[in-house]
């Protein structure tokens, strides 16, 4: 630590990425408010804010605070909750969202967060790895960019086409995506455009993402707040075409942004998100003691590298990444199969 004029100079510095993405909505609104003409006697009409809770027409249903009061006075929920959320609340979210689904979501598909904002933070941070990029809509919701730049995840922007009711420019998505693209974010119903994607357009988005091998993050924080003639359809309906992470919260539909309750939900009936957990059935294998032994022999005999599960806390499993060229994946899996046949116990 340096000492200047007898004072310590602290080494503290903020994350410079945060300043770089500093055109925040609230910052601009503060400047606009300060710029008003003091002599104008008319009341200010706030058409720029996203929080209507101060207006009497925007009161949440009394059922909601009553339920919270009951839960509080029950003294049953003062404990630390599980990291993924209280079981009853996860079940309630799964049941609520399943009403719009062709299949039933499980409470295990639901992860509760501190508002949709924390859902964005978690999902974007988890996806950030060196050289990875992610596709965001333009125009979009600035929280995504802020979070990506903090995590050093490259943000690429596809366009929404105003002449087509703000539909996704799927050509620009195809042009932007490459082998390092991890996911594509859609916001439906749209903030800031207010449109709602049709079933047909959602299907096209799902098919495009599936062809590109990237999964979808669907921000549905405005779910069911649909203006115009298109009914709201959740992206998770297409979960068997492409895995979907749905982000949502109670902030907008129930007009309680201060309650900070949101969720991440997986819609992945084919289990793609879990496909890299392979369990070893050791009694079927001759001369293989455990996962490390399996991986060492596989590397020596077949020049295929897979990670023993013990390194990620799951002993006797294998951690296989599928994020390689398709031909290499096929070759690798073929060699693992040959290795297995050589080591399979004779019946
Ligand atoms: C408001 C909003 C969020 C944040 O939701 P909270 O639950 O208030 O954190 C996320 N995405 C979009 C598109 C929003 O408009």
Cα distance between residue 78 and residue 234, in whole Å: 33
Q: Is the pLDDT of residue 65 over 70?
A: yes
Q: What value does the mean pLDDT take over residues 143-170?
A: 95
Cα distance between residue 197 and residue 182, in whole Å: 22
Atom 5 of ligand 1: nearest residue by CA position: 116
Domain ranges for the chain, please list them. Answer: 63-272, 277-343
CA of 163 to the centre of ligand 1 (A): 26
Cα distance between residue 332 and residue 229, in whole Å: 50
Range scoring the smallest mean pLDDT among 118-122, 139-143, 187-191, 306-310 = 306-310
Tokens of 331: 């070759």
CA atoms within 13 A on the CB side of 302: 21
Bridge-based pairing state of the strands 181-187 and 215-219: parallel
**pTM reported for the whole predicted model:** 0.79
Average pLDDT, the chain: 90
Ligand 1, closest atom to CA 117?
9
Give, for ligand 1, the residue of 24, 51, 117 to mutate: max count of ligand atoms closer than 8 Å to Cβ. 117
Q: Is the pLDDT of residue 58 over 60?
A: yes
Q: Is the pLDDT of residue 46 over 90?
A: no
Tell me, using a 6 A CB cutoff, whether residue 190 lines ligand 1.
no
Q: Which of 115, 117, 119, 118 is nearest to 265 (CA)?
A: 119
Q: What local confidence, expressed as pLDDT, does residue 347 receive?
A: 61
CATH topology of domain 63-272: 3.40.640
Cα distance between residue 135 and residue 157, in whole Å: 6
Comparing 160 with 308, the larger pLDDT belongs to 160
Cis peptide upstream of residue 144 (ω within 30 degrees of 0): no
Q: Is the pLDDT of residue 154 over 80?
A: yes
Q: Is the pLDDT of residue 80 over 60?
A: yes
Tokens of 50: 């996203």
277-343 in CATH: which number?
3.90.1150.10
Range scoring the smallest mean pLDDT among 141-145, 172-176, 210-214, 306-310 = 306-310
Comparing 114 with 13, the larger pLDDT belongs to 114
Question: Count of CB atoms within 10 A of residue 285's CB?
Answer: 18
pLDDT bucket at 71, cuts 50 / 70 / 90:
very high
Q: What local confidence, expressed as pLDDT, does residue 11 receive?
A: 76
CA of 113 to the centre of ligand 1 (A): 12
Tokens of 224: 């069911």
């Amino acid at each position: 630590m340096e000492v200047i004029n007898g004072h310590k100079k602290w080494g503290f510095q903020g994350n410079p990425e945060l300043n770089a993405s500093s055109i925040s909505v609230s910052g601009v609104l503060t400047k606009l408010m300060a710029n008003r003409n003091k002599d104008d006697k008319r009341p200010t009409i706030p058409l720029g804010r996203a929080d209507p809770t101060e207006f009497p027409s925007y009161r949440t249903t009394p059922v909601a605070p009553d339920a919270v009061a009951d839960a509080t006075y029950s003294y049953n929920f003062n404990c630390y909750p599980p990291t993924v959320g209280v079981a009853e609340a996860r079940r309630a979210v799964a049941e609520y969202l399943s009403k719009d689904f062709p299949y039933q979501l499980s409470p295990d598909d639901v992860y509760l967060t501190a508002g949709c904002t924390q859902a964005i933070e978690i999902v974007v941070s988890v996806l950030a790895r060196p050289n990875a990029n992610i596709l965001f809509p333009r125009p979009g919701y600035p929280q995504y960019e802020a979070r990506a730049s903090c995590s050093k995840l490259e943000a690429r922007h596809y366009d929404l086409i105003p002449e087509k009711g703000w539909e996704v420019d799927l050509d620009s998505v195809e042009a932007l995506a490459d082998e390092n693209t991890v996911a594509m974010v859609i916001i439906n119903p749209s903030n800031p455009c207010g449109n709602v994607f049709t079933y047909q357009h959602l299907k096209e988005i799902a098919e495009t993402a599936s062809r590109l091998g990237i999964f979808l993050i669907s921000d549905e924080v405005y779910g069911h707040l649909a203006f115009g003639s298109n009914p709201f359809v959740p992206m998770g309906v297409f979960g068997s075409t492409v895995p979907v992470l749905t982000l949502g919260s109670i902030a907008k539909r129930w007009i309680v942004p201060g309650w900070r309750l949101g969720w991440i939900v997986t819609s992945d009936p084919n289990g793609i998100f879990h496909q890299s957990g392979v369990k070893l059935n050791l009694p079927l294998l001759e001369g293989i003691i455990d996962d490390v032994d399996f991986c060492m022999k596989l590397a020596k005999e077949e020049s295929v590298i897979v990670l023993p599960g013990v390194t990620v806390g799951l002993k006797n499993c294998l951690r296989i990444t599928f994020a390689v060229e398709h031909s290499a994946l096929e070759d690798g899996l073929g060699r693992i199969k040959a290795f297995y046949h050589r080591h399979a116990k004779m019946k």
